[in-house]
Amino acid sequence: GCIMDGKLYPFGEIARTESCFRCSCSPDAMRCCSLFHTPTGYDKENCKVVFNRESCDYDVVQKSDPSKECFVYSRV
């Protein structure tokens, strides 16, 4: 298998690792792609980015009230 972040994964396709990556594990390599997109376009003065492990994505919330989401107009 392959080891990522201290966890052993079996050979083959891995739909989602604990650190939110989709991977392919083979005897000679482990290739991974992230399942999340990083917010780049949002109100940086009033909002902050928080990683949500349940959804494997970033939430952009108000600094003054994290229960309220902010509008995101671009991600990479």
The pLDDT value recorded for residue 57 is 94
The predicted model scores a pTM of 0.74
Instruction: Give tens-digit pLDDT for 61-70.
Output: 999 999 999 9
Nearest to 56 by CA among 71, 38, 30: 38
Measure Cα distances from 32 to 5, 61, 67, 74 in Å.
Answer: 13, 28, 32, 23
pLDDT the model gives residue 75 = 92
- At 24 the pLDDT is 97
Q: What's the CATH code, domain 39-75? A: 2.20.25.590
Amino acid letter, 36: F
For residue 75, the Cα-to-chain-centroid distance in whole angstroms is: 12
What would the pLDDT profile of 9-48 be if each residue is shown by its tens digit?
A: 999 999 999 899 999 999 999 999 999 999 999 999 999 9
DSSP states along 62-74: ESS-TTSB----E
Domain boundaries, the chain: 2-34, 39-75
